[in-house]
Amino acid sequence: MDLSNPGGLPNIQNTEIAFASKSNGELKKMAWLFSMMNKPLLVKWGSKLGLKAVEWRLPFAETVIKNTIFEQFCGGASLEETRHSIKKLSTNKVFTILDYGAEGKETEEDFLSTKEETLKALSFASSEKFVPIVSTKVTGMAPFDLLEKKSSGAAFSQEETLAWSELMNKMDALGRKASESGVGLYIDAEESWIQPAIDYVVDTLMSRYNTQKVVIFNTFQLYRHDRLEFLKESLSKAKAGGYLLGAKLVRGAYMQKESSRASAMNYENPIQPSKEATDRDFDSAVEFCLENINSISFCVASHNAESNLKLARWMMEKNIQKDHPHIMTSQLYGMSDPLTFNMASSGFPASKYVPYGKVRDVIPYLIRRAQENTSVTGDMGREYSVIQKEVKRRGL
């Protein structure tokens, strides 16, 4: 596909627009950081040592992380601190999707705190024009085992029944708050063996809060061979239930884990047979959402340039207005800037998923971002080379 397509389509090769908000100093720091992440051994040992250094509360460990990788991939340590990133993004017409980034939480106290943080984020978003959506994960609010048991259809003990109703109450509080504040709530998709429970929770919230406009969004992982069909079924169910469907479309983040579990436990792998099959279903899902644009509000959540450009092209072919309230695209903060900023500059809806939280709480997220950007995964080419291109263009 010709990425420099004229006629109103974004030119994602334009690094000048992509990095317009970065000073020369910031750009050089970014180039240095990505060149460091391009060293697999450094990432491997740096991740381990960094994690330990923060755990042992070694002096300066948090400061070093905060001024390097945290600054690149997170919006701030608190909601207040994200204001700076939100403002910078908004000057380039890029929306922010707030994502409380604390992970690996397991106690009821942690679950309550995630709920409270998400409620705060929804309040905060309601007063920020450029924060239309907040994102959350069901595993941040309930034990993994509980979701697994619900998904398998096994009977709950009395204690589990209580824990399940506590989860439903927490999620309902978030749905109600989102609805009252006029802020969207994206709910992440996770491992396939807990996804039926998540789908149940999200469907329940959609039926309550999506009757007038879309507030609640489920996530559809098109790397699963059954999810295109599930998207279609979800729309039929929404129509029958008298509500609108919210759909965040992703390829899926747990491919290795899914395949290994399926093979270890000897059941059919839920993952598509090839990347091409995933791409084909992803495209079909986008087309399906566009065809049903009055009943579905959706987000193309992908770093894949072709997926985003296809959406832009199809919108133009179908004469769908560029700022249609039912369409959004999104990439992770600190990644794929040429895509996000050039989509926005051409008038298409564009946003960044902006995680925030205390440095020690977001370390697992940061390690994943660093690993993704090593040369091993091939993503390094996608990020580092465009930064280098802009460094050269500016003659730095």
The C-alpha atoms of residue 176 and residue 171 are separated, in whole angstroms, by 9
Tell me, residue by residue from 31 to 70, as one string, x for binding to ligand FAD by CB under 6 A and - for no binding.
----------------------------------------
- Of 33 and 354, nearer to ligand FAD (C-beta) is 354
* C-alpha–C-alpha distance, residues 112 and 169, integer Å: 11
* 257 near ligand FAD, judged by CB under 6 A: no
Look at the alpha carbons of 124, 125, 128, 131 in this order and tell me if their dihedral is positive or negative: positive
Stretch near ligand FAD under the rule CB under 6 A, chosen from 193-201, 231-239, 271-279, 319-327: 271-279
Contact pattern from residue 237 through residue 256 relative to ligand FAD, giving x for each residue in contact according to CB under 6 A and a dash for the rest: -------------xxxxxx-
Is residue 155 helix, strand or coil?
coil
Dihedral angle, C-alpha 32, 369, 82, 345, nearest 10 °: 80
150 binds ligand FAD (CB under 6 A): no
CA distance 354 to 125: 12
Q: Could you give the count of Cα atoms lying within 13 Å of 93 in the half-sphere of its Cβ?
A: 17
Cβ atoms of 334 and 19 within 8 Å: the answer is no
Closest distance to ligand FAD from the beta carbon of 189 (Å): 4
- Residue whose CB is less far from ligand FAD, 244 or 255: 255
The residue type at 264: A
Q: Which of 151, 330, 342, 345 binds ligand FAD (CB under 6 A)?
A: 330
Which of 73, 157, 103 is closest to 333 using CA atoms?
Answer: 73
User: Phi/psi zone of residue 54: left (φ > 0), alpha (ψ -120 to 50 degrees), beta?
Assistant: alpha
Neighbours of 344 (CB within 10 A): 22
Query: CB 262 → ligand FAD: shortest distance, Å?
Result: 13
Which of 18, 119, 167, 189 lies at the binding interface for ligand FAD (CB under 6 A)? 189
Measured distance CA(369)–CA(23) in Å, rounded? 23
Q: Applying CB under 6 A, what is the total number of residues that bind ligand FAD? A: 24
Choose between 62 and 188: whose C-beta lies nearer to ligand FAD: 188
Residue 328 DSSP symbol: E
Considering only 107, 274, 294, 321, the residue that binds ligand FAD (CB under 6 A) is 274
Q: Does 353 bind ligand FAD (CB under 6 A)?
A: yes
The site string for ligand FAD over 120-149 (x = CB under 6 A, - otherwise) reads: ------------------------------
Binding residues (CB under 6 A) for ligand FAD: these are 188-189, 219, 221, 223, 250-255, 271-272, 274-275, 278, 301-304, 330-332, 353
